């Protein structure tokens, strides 16, 4: 180092300076490697409704007290049936809206008469706990128009989604934040 | 020949009709006579991306402020205030996510999985504290990290941890970092986020296990300063190494050490190094031999570490869901498992080939074997370097804040009489 005119630079200092430069270069390289990735957009968690097996984990494994997963309805797929297997218990006491006849444990599905013989089923989201009982019922005997989705107004987008860890069928996927829903019917063609 | 061709055609036709039938709705949607309009499925949006950049800006401002307070202002009270702000903002308001510690997982995955992109906000969170540490030491740990802050708050009766024990316990943090990188790189898990002890507290909800573990850290933290930061934090061990190289560093005294020994017991994290005279000649010669032996031992430790962790790939690979599934399916096929599990029945429902699953599991195991060698080698290297450090005598004339271990909390400043002189002179100068 003496030839540089810096007589007082010690070997230790020289090594430290070199390591410092190397670290800065490494950090720069890390940024470069990460920024030049193909995919650019932010990602959010979502459920692929075609992979969901309605195990019920969504209701219990979310870090939120009230799960961010809720049931949603693809109305265009619904048969508007009178006897709805997503709404009613498998063997109901009576074909009415009595609590004992409803499949939903929280009574979150609202049934409205449209015209004979059609009824519309709407999810009261604040009541829904994402247990997928209705999804299972609808998929078993109906059109499968009820399905679960992560609601992004509730989801805190954990780095590692706790439900995704617990999901037995690998239905939780990261999706583009600009199109954060995997709706049945709508994007089925894709 | 013709017959088999015919059979294939029939089979294909059948398949097509089956696929068609799969898509057909059991009950066709009704044609309403009353002209009822079908409601659409609602899609509530997520938090705007702008907030991500707001968070990143707050982080950089907090880091700059922390560095200034620690290096220039030298005022524990202000550092403490900033720490409280960080606990409030990054902890309770932003609910502990995104954080630089967990971003290790995102960063690793973004390097190894080309389909995964790290959000720019998370990348800034990962990089900014590293850069600041290279310039100003661990100001992130001192006043910006909410996990450090919550532990700093409960530290009321610090107990000294023997140096050797501290060194040994710290190896766990390196192991944790190594495993976190291994699991993130193979796409198995974000270990650091899964076992974040304080995020459940920040959110005021979460799994009971993690709440209990977090509470344990806080109870231990009453006596042992910042146990997570010192013995567990995987980001901390990266910052330690960068902090050794930092351009500016925390100094106990603002100018000259007068060796008054007042600061000796002021650090609850055992990060104050005492002055040390060089070894006497005979000890020096003896240690030189030990050092030569340890340097020779270093490659052995590296290979040993790699061999152990690489050889454990069958066990470590179970962190990956596909490997667990493949093992369960194998047990079922072999008649060793009586009951199916949710994942195995879900897999059978998809109609995917078992052979494909096995092939994937074998591939992932291979990745774990290779990754295990690297991570194990890294751990062996760390253990070896630790041993080497012990037989190298640092010579110091003054009391100094340890370059790597100092968490920049600023507790020692007020213990230094020279700092009191500095403050008095400042007051006199400002009138």
pLDDT of residue B268: 95
Q: What is the pLDDT of residues A76-122, one digit of tens each?
A: 899 998 889 999 988 888 888 888 899 999 999 999 998 888 999 99
Between CA B82 and CA B140 the distance in angstroms is 11
The residue assigned the tokens 């290096």 is B71
Contacts of A153 in chain B (CB under 8 A): 44-46
Residues A133, A139, A142: CA angle, nearest 5 degrees: 115
DSSP letter at A3 equals G
A143 pLDDT more than 70: yes
Classified as helix, coil or strand, B100 is helix
Q: What is the pLDDT of residues B139-149, one digit of tens each?
A: 999 999 999 99
- Are B234 and B292 within one domain? no
- Are B80 and B175 within one domain? yes
Q: Looking at the domain assignment, is residue B233 inside a domain? A: yes
User: CB-based contacts of B193: which residues, under 8 Å, 6+ apart?
Assistant: A158, A159, A160, B97, B102, B105, B199
Region A35-52 average pLDDT: 81
- Are B121 and B249 within one domain? yes
Between CA A15 and CA A30 the distance in angstroms is 22
Distance from CA of B238 to the nearest CA of A (A): 11
Q: Looking at the domain assignment, is residue B5 inside a domain? A: no
- Are B412 and B311 within one domain? no
Q: Looking at the domain assignment, is residue B27 inside a domain? A: no
**Which residue of B19, B21, B23, B29 to mutate against A (max A Cβ within 10 Å)?**
B29
Task: Kindly identify which residue of chain B lies nearest to residue A84, measuring between CA atoms.
Answer: B27
Q: Looking at the domain assignment, is residue B242 inside a domain? A: yes
- Of B32, B120, B341, nearest to A115 by CB-CB distance is B32
Distance from CA of B21 to the nearest CA of A (A): 12
Q: Looking at the domain assignment, is residue B22 inside a domain? A: no
Query: Would you tell me how many other CB atoms lie within 10 Å of the CB of residue B54?
Result: 13
Contacts of B40 in chain A (CB under 8 A): 75
Q: Can you give the length of chain B in residues?
A: 431
A190 pLDDT more than 50: no
Contacts of A80 in chain B (CB under 8 A): 27, 29-30
**Which residue of A12, A15, A23 to mutate against B (max B Cβ within 10 Å)?**
A23
pLDDT of residue B16: 46
Q: Looking at the domain assignment, is residue B107 inside a domain? A: yes
pLDDT of residue B9: 53
- Are B256 and B197 within one domain? yes
Task: Kindly identify which residue of chain A lies nearest to residue B195, measuring between CA atoms.
Answer: A160
DSSP letter at B284 equals H
Q: Which is nearest to A159 in space by CA: B166, B119, B20?
A: B119
Q: What is the pLDDT of residues B160-190, one digit of tens each?
A: 999 889 999 999 999 999 999 999 999 999 9
Task: Kindly identify which residue of chain B lies nearest to residue A74, measuring between CA atoms.
Answer: B41
Region A134-163 average pLDDT: 92
Task: List A residues 31-50 in contact with B (Cβ-Cβ < 8 A).
Answer: 31, 33-35, 37-44
pLDDT of residue B15: 47
- Are B131 and B241 within one domain? yes
CB contact under 8 A, A81 and B27: yes
Distance from CA of A29 to the nearest CA of B (A): 11
Q: What is the pLDDT of residues B109-141, one digit of tens each?
A: 988 888 888 888 889 999 999 999 999 999 999
Instruction: Tell me which of A62-66, B74-78, B297-301 is least confident.
Output: A62-66
Task: Kindly identify which residue of chain A lies nearest to residue B43, measuring between CA atoms.
Answer: A181
- Overall domain count for chain B: 2
Residue A22: alpha-carbon gap to chain centroid: 41
Q: What is the pLDDT of residues B89-100, one digit of tens each?
A: 999 998 888 899
Between CA B198 and CA B147 the distance in angstroms is 7
pLDDT of residue A92: 85
Instruction: Tell me which of A35-44, A129-138, B100-109, B382-391 is least confident.
Output: A35-44
**Which residue of B191, B245, B341, B392 to mutate against A (max A Cβ within 10 Å)?**
B245
Place A68 in a pLDDT band, splitting at 50, 70 and 90: very high
Query: Would you tell me how many other CB atoms lie within 10 Å of the CB of residue A89?
Result: 15
The domain locations on chain A are 2-35, 43-176
Q: Which is nearest to A114 in space by CA: B227, B29, B133, B386?
A: B29
CB contact under 8 A, A63 and B203: yes
CB contact under 8 A, B347 and A64: no
Query: Would you tell me how many other CB atoms lie within 10 Å of the CB of residue B24?
Result: 8
- Are B292 and B248 within one domain? no
Average pLDDT, chain B: 90
Q: A54: buried, middle or exposed (CB in 10 Å: 19+, 13-18, 0-12)? A: buried
Could you give the angle at which helices B208-221 and B146-154 cross, rounded to 10 degrees?
Answer: 50
Q: Looking at the domain assignment, is residue B267 inside a domain? A: yes
Question: Phi first, then psi: what are they for B258, rounded to 5°?
Answer: -105, 10
CB contact under 8 A, B29 and A168: no
Check the CA dihedral B125-B130-B132-B136 and report its sign: positive
Task: List A residues 83-122 in contact with B (Cβ-Cβ < 8 A).
Answer: 114-115, 118, 120, 122
- ipTM given for this complex: 0.84
DSSP letter at B358 equals H
Distance from CA of A44 to the nearest CA of B (A): 9
Between CA B96 and CA B236 the distance in angstroms is 17
Task: Decide if A10 touches B, using CB distance below 8 A.
Answer: no
Domain that holds residue B249: 52-276+402-430
Q: Looking at the domain assignment, is residue B42 inside a domain? A: no
Question: Phi first, then psi: what are they for A55, rounded to 5°?
Answer: -75, -20
DSSP letter at B73 equals I
Task: Decide if A82 touches B, using CB distance below 8 A.
Answer: no
Q: Are B419 and B74 in contact (CB under 8 A)?
A: yes
Task: Kindly identify which residue of chain B lies nearest to residue A118, measuring between CA atoms.
Answer: B30
């Amino acid at each position: 180092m003496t030839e540089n005119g810096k007589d007082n630079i010690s070997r230790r200092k020289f090594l430290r300076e070199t390591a410092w430069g190397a670290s800065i270069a490494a950090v720069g390289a890390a940024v470069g490697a990460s920024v030049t990735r193909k995919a650019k957009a932010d990602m959010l968690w979502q459920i692929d409704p075609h992979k969901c097996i309605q195990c019920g984990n969504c209701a219990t494994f979310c870090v939120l007290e009230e799960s961010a997963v809720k049931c949603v309805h693809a109305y265009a797929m619904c048969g508007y049936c009178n006897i709805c297997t997503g709404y009613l218990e498998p063997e109901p006491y009576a074909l009415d809206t009595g609590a004992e006849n409803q499949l939903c444990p929280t009574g979150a599905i609202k049934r409205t008469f449209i015209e004979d013989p059609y009824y519309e089923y709407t999810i009261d989201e604040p009541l829904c706990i994402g247990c997928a009982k209705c999804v299972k019922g609808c998929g078993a005997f109906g059109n499968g128009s009820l399905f679960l989705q992560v609601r992004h107004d509730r989801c805190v987008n954990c780095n590692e989604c706790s439900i995704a860890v617990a999901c037995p069928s690998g239905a939780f996927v990261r999706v583009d934040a600009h199109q954060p829903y995997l709706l049945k019917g709508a994007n089925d063609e894709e | 020949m013709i017959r088999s061709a015919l059979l294939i055609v029939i089979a294909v036709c059948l398949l097509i009709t089956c696929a068609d039938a799969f898509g057909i709705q059991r009950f066709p949607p009704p044609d309403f006579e009353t002209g009822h309009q079908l409601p659409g499925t609602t899609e509530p949006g997520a938090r705007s991306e702008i907030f991500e950049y707001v968070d990143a800006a707050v982080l950089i401002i907090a880091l700059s402020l922390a560095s200034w307070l620690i290096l220039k202002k030298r005022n524990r009270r202000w550092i403490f205030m900033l720490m409280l702000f960080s606990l409030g903002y990054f902890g309770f308001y932003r609910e502990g996510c995104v954080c630089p510690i967990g971003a290790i997982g995102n960063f690793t995955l973004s390097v190894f999985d080309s389909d995964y992109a790290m959000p720019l906000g998370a990348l800034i969170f990962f990089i900014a504290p590293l850069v600041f540490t290279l310039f100003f030491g661990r100001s992130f740990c001192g006043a910006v990290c909410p996990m450090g802050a919550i532990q700093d708050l409960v530290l009321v009766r610090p107990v000294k941890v023997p140096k050797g024990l501290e060194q040994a316990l710290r190896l766990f943090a390196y192991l944790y970092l190594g495993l976190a990188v291994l699991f993130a790189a193979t796409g198995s898990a974000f270990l650091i986020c899964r076992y974040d002890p304080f995020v459940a507290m920040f959110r005021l909800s979460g799994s009971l296990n993690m709440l209990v573990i977090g509470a344990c850290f806080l109870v231990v933290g009453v006596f042992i300063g910042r146990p997570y930061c010192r013995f567990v934090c995987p980001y901390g061990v990266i910052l330690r190494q960068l902090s050794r190289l930092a351009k500016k560093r925390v100094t106990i005294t603002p100018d000259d050490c007068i060796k008054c020994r007042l600061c000796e017991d002021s650090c609850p994290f055992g990060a104050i190094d005492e002055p040390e005279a060089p070894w006497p000649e005979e000890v020096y010669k003896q240690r030189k031999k030990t050092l030569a032996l340890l340097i020779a031992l270093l490659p052995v430790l590296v290979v040993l570490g790699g061999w152990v962790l690489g050889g454990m790939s069958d066990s470590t690979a179970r962190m990956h869901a596909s490997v667990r599934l493949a093992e369960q399916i194998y047990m079922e096929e072999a008649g060793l498992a009586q009951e199916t599990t949710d994942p195995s029945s879900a897999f059978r429902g998809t109609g995917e080939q078992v052979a494909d699953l096995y092939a994937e599991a074998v591939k992932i195991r291979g990745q774990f074997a290779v990754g295990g060698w690297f991570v194990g080698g890294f751990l062996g290297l760390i253990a070896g370097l630790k041993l080497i450090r012990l037989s190298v005598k640092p010579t110091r004339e003054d009391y100094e804040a340890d370059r790597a271990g100092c968490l920049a909390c600023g507790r020692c400043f007020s213990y230094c009489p020279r700092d009191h002189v500095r403050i008095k002179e400042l007051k006199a100068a400002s009138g």
